[in-house]
Structure 1
Amino acid sequence: MLEGKSVVITGATGSLGRAAIEAVLLERGEPILISRQFADDFYSDLPRYEIDLTEHDATQAVISRIGDFDAVFNIAGGFAMGKKVYDDDRDDWSSMFALNTETMRNVAKVAIPLLIQRGGGAMVNVGAYAAQSGKADMGAYVASKAAVMRLTETLSEEVREHGVNVNAVLPTIIDTPANRNGMPDADPKSWVDPTRLAQVMCFLASDAAQDIHGALLPVRALS
């Protein structure tokens, strides 16, 4: 599905990032990894770039150095429960928008022109199933992910005629060690397996999805 394609993966050291690396390799693609920091032994045989994606100029400098690539998986982001909307949530708001929205925008500002220049490609963003509507005590998170989703649709309309596909997956809770530790009483059987989520992202980056533009694809477990 991705044979011969190079895929930039942001947030590469997280659970979904790791799953995406393995999925791209399984599809005979070539992962290019981006994270704030790498352990010495973390996929050391693959191209790796350490960068804080909330910093626009640094993002531009690094991605411009990568060279040619076919697709981008915008996985970098974060989650935190927040305060009431009417409470003082300035720290929550700044943190969620920096991690989820600004990282995606900073990458898009550099990567999309490069994809247009090469004549096509794909960008797959990560929204959130929960952000399709308001959720109590999650205002900053759902607002930041909703922004990612609206930007995905808007960007798709701007670049589809250039042969660039921009779509997003909307997972429910992802089955990660951090989520299991943070919600020990929950049943992870109803959560999304990161490997299966990564496989959906690979499909959206493949030639089989070249006619899919601006899709916000819910990804939920069966149970």
Structure 2
Amino acid sequence: MNTAPVILITGAARRVGAQIARHVHEAGANVVLHYRNSAREAQALADTLNAARPDSAWLVSGDLAADGVPEAVIAQTMAQAGRLDGLVNNASSFFPTPLGQIDLAAWHDLIGSNLKGPLFLSQAAAAPLRERRGAIVNIVDIHAERPLRHYPLYCAAKAGLLGLTRALALELAPQVRVNGVSPGPVAWPEDGQFPPEERAQIVRHTLLGREGTPADIAGMVRFLMLDAPYVTGQIIAVDGGRSARL
């Protein structure tokens, strides 16, 4: 019987989510990799992890903003892995919504991926996580507390996730720990939202004077998930000190 903890990571096919999966897997956990559109990348990552340790990675898919999908993802996780010890709410949409241009499509996308999905996933996962005395880690954002111009809806969604993190820590105590990680300049968007000079300016306002890496975020998630039994209700910035100047 496999006694390794099982951790579900949303948005795990690429970038920060994939690095989180690699980190917790390397630490001995089995992983359930959620994806929405990146099936090929998710399958390749699962194949790599299973080659390193057989029967240690599974796949689930779905749009977490859609009604009923979070519950289905948890049901699929339990059917495949048989247990759930940890949930990492990493999946996220990110794009600008200047005031005056916000529409319902943007609302459903940004609120759905950044707040609705994590809420209903956590609710569906509460019973198995309580049984395992598990943990939830939410990927928040430093702009949940210090807004980014032209991104009011994204910032509001992440502010909601920050509040949800602390509320869930209260609701699920003492069996389940709930914490958040707030990244700074790590893994820039791939669609050119931040041109080179704007990126350079952001880095100049970072106390450590450099960008972070997905491994920086993954290391903190691994710590909160597996090595912090007396930490709950906390939001930890992993931002090179950028938020100290905002």
Q: TM-score, normalised by structure 1?
A: 0.88
Partner of 1:115: 129
Contact 2:65–2:108 (8 Å) recurs in 1: no
CA distance in 1 between counterparts of 2:184 and 2:176 reads 26
Letter in 2 for 1:211: Y
1:9 CA displacement? 0.7
Amino acid at match of 1:129: I
Question: 2:70 aligns to what?
Answer: 59
Shift of 1:125: 0.2
Amino acid at match of 1:215: Q
Could you tell me whether the CA contact under 8 Å between 1:7 and 1:71 is conserved in 2? yes
Residue 205 of structure 1 and its aligned partner are, at CA, apart by 0.5
2:185 matches 1:173 = yes
Query: In the alignment, is the contact (CA less than 8 A) between 1:190 and 1:222 conserved in 2?
Result: no
Partner of residue 10, structure 1: 10
1:132–1:177 Cα change, 3 Å: closer
Report the Cα offset of residue 222 of structure 1: 6.1
1:221 aligned partner, one-letter code:
G
**What CA deviation, in whole Å up to 9, does each residue of 1:119-150 have, x standing for no partner?**
41000001110111333211101100000000
**Partner SS state of residue 149, structure 2:** coil
Q: Distance in 1 between matches of 2:193 and 2:164?
A: 32
User: Which ranges in structure 2 are unaligned for 5 or more consecutive residues?
Assistant: 51-56, 204-208
Equivalent runs, 1:64-213 vs 2, <5 Å: 64-67=75-78, 68-84=83-99, 87-90=100-103, 91-116=105-130, 118-161=131-174, 163-176=175-188, 178=190, 182-185=194-197, 186-187=199-200, 190-206=210-226, 208-213=227-232
SS at match of 2:124: helix
Equivalent-residue separation in structure 2 for 1:25 and 1:148 (angstroms): 25
SS in structure 2 of the partner of residue 47 of structure 1: strand
Identical columns (%): 22
Q: CA RMSD in A?
A: 2.2
**C-alpha separation between the residues in 2 aligned to 1:177 and 1:137?**
15
Task: Mark the runs of 5 or more structure 1 residues left unpaired by the alignment.
Answer: none
Equivalent pairs counted in the alignment come to 216
* Aligned counterparts of 1:179 and 1:195: Cα–Cα separation in 2: 21
Say if 1:131 and 1:145, in contact at 8 Å, map to a contact too.
yes
Alignment CA distance shift 1:20-1:180 (3 Å): farther
Q: CA deviation at 1:63?
A: 1.1
Please say if residues 9 and 34 of structure 2, whose CA atoms lie closer than 8 Å, have aligned partners that are also in contact: yes
Query: How far apart, in 2, do the equivalents of 1:48 and 1:138 lie?
Result: 32
Q: Is the 8 A contact 2:7 2:31 kept in 1?
A: yes
TM superposition shift of 1:192: 2.2
Compute the displacement of 1:181 (Å).
7.6
Q: Give, as a single letter, the amino acid of the residue that structure 2 aligns with 1:27.
A: A
Distance in 1 separating the partners of 2:75 and 2:13:
21
Q: Who is 2:53 aligned against? A: none
8 Å CA contact 2:65–2:109 kept in 1: the answer is: no
1:6 Cα offset (Å)? 1.5
2:68 match: secondary structure: helix
